[in-house]
A and B are shown apart, each in its own frame.
Chain A
């Protein structure tokens, strides 16, 4: 019994980290910047495809391919931000939703033409395969790596937003853009870099999760509901919210699937509804 509790806790945390890793970019663009960026999955998908291409066709090692995914997606997102997103920062939510859904549809069609119908092949390096043996239980190495890596990302992000000047400027600009501008903050540049960071993280998340959530052209819609659950349950305007929400959902979902698999299918949705009824702004939301 005890050992199965350990397993469930581990797999739950690992699943939570996968959810967090693929949603972390959205917690920046939607959570922090307040842009309803439903096209988040597009950036994640791009990251996954770049990782696959870099490894399978160009033969780059896994860590380099991850870096390439992050950098390339950030760079591409700057172009998109300048051309499209920046025009909609002040537009209503409906415009943002329609715009980002349009972007999803276009990118799905492009991905299908370029990469075909099958999922992109992703093969982990040997040192991330197999299991780590601790206290008589086996833990998949890759999931251990994901937990550590995501923990580092959340610490870095939290430090950046809560403890640095850049973080303070972002928070100020999101709360009141006009005032921030008038005290001399270059909000245009600030939003551009923050958006690039969010998109880059999305790309990184898509790449990191690609072994578990296969990257295929339908990716942006398929996982949209998970991205949104994590951010909505966590609460907008908060960074630790989505992190804790992902953990909570991951552990609850895994526990339910392990012990009472008959209900495994809908627990995640029931929990979401319950939490949102109880706290409509999410666990740590500062704005609805």
Chain B
């Protein structure tokens, strides 16, 4: 009897230590289908790549990624998935999210359940204000579009804005207009296009007839970017002397081969291009190709998720796998990485939003392949301008 008790106690003790060999569960919600269903896999691949590269730093803590498909811009679905992951699977963290509406719908879940939520893409400024448990490692549209407007105002007199009709589009439109008009430029018109839009000819014709010096476009990357590019040249806007510019979403790295030479010369402002020549990026691209195949290239979604994984790994390391929500957020708030593939980045402790450089890039041929070549750093250590102006 006594022996049995000892054995039982020993077994209990053993199972207790087994439990302390921690598992951290990440509820990972992204888009594997629907509009931009091609972007979800970039996100997951980037996270898995980082975890694999840094596995030995985790001190035996296991990281489990519970992946879910939110099927595109679908806030109800995203919220339901987040609830399930929190309540049923008891995840320690939420992460991922391509689309702003989905991130907005998940914010209350993060607040109520006190689950830190790492946003790896969705770029509307206001998102991080929606929950104190949100941190963002990707970008805001204001970060790229405001410097873009400032830069454009020095080169062009008149502009036309064309954006997708949802949160990030509105941000991009507003940010560009502010930067451009502050610098003395004049907006000839603005148009908002539905997210799912099969034909662009009517909009492009409208722009062409307005004869601006420059057309500034934001669309949510993916094949829409290719469609816009093709329509732009098909309707002869380039020949009419109109220059196409935008945040980097319009020349996203993985779509460049599909766009072909019509993309040559397009100028964009963005925080990341796969063609960047800094050593950290070369190593990142090389690791990506080694893991996923020589024809694969990471993109801005991948880098947002890669750094998102980095911030999570840092929190796990500092707390030895026992994640406390508030401590985790403290660690997130003071996180810095001078050597991200996109250059130096940090989290702004006040807003929990990313601080990063913005680069002016041009699409050029490099060794027979189209690439976003970084020309200059147009803005250094940019905090989200929208939050700065609101103060």
Contact = CB atoms under 8 A, between A and B. Distances in A.
A18 interface: yes
Contacts of B235: 131, 138, 140
B25 interface: no
A102 B286 CA distance: 40
Contact of A143 (B33, B37, B201, B254): B201
Contacts, number: 95
A119 interface: yes
A258 B207 CA distance: 9
Interface residues of A, number: 38
Contacts of A213: 198
28 contacts: A4-B205, A11-B202, A117-B41, A118-B38, A118-B258, A119-B226, A119-B258, A121-B257, A129-B234, A131-B235, A131-B239, A138-B239, A142-B234, A213-B198, A216-B38, A218-B34, A218-B37, A222-B196, A226-B198, A253-B199, A253-B202, A254-B199, A254-B202, A258-B205, A261-B191, A264-B193, A265-B165, A265-B197
Contact of B33 (A123, A138, A218, A226): A218
A223 B258 contact: no
Contacts of B257: 121
A117 B230 contact: no
Interface of A: 4, 7-8, 11-12, 14-15, 18, 117-119, 121, 123, 129-131, 138, 140, 142-143, 211-214, 216, 218, 222-223, 226, 253-255, 257-258, 261-262, 264-265
B196 to A, nearest CB: 8
B54 interface: no
A4 B205 CA distance: 9
Nearest to A131: B236
Given A118-B255, A130-B236, A261-B191, A18 B199 contact: yes
A254 B197 CA distance: 12
The 7 closest A-B pairs by CB, nearest first: A265-B194, A257-B202, A117-B38, A11-B201, A214-B223, A119-B223, A254-B202
A117 B165 CA distance: 24
A265 B169 CA distance: 15
Contacts of A11: 199, 201-202, 205
A160 B134 CA distance: 63
A8 B208 CA distance: 13
B199 A261 contact: no
A253 B201 CA distance: 11
Contact of B199 (A4, A15, A118): A15
Contact of A254 (B37, B196, B201): B201
B334 interface: no
A211 B230 contact: yes
Contact of B234 (A7, A117, A123, A140): A140
B350 interface: no
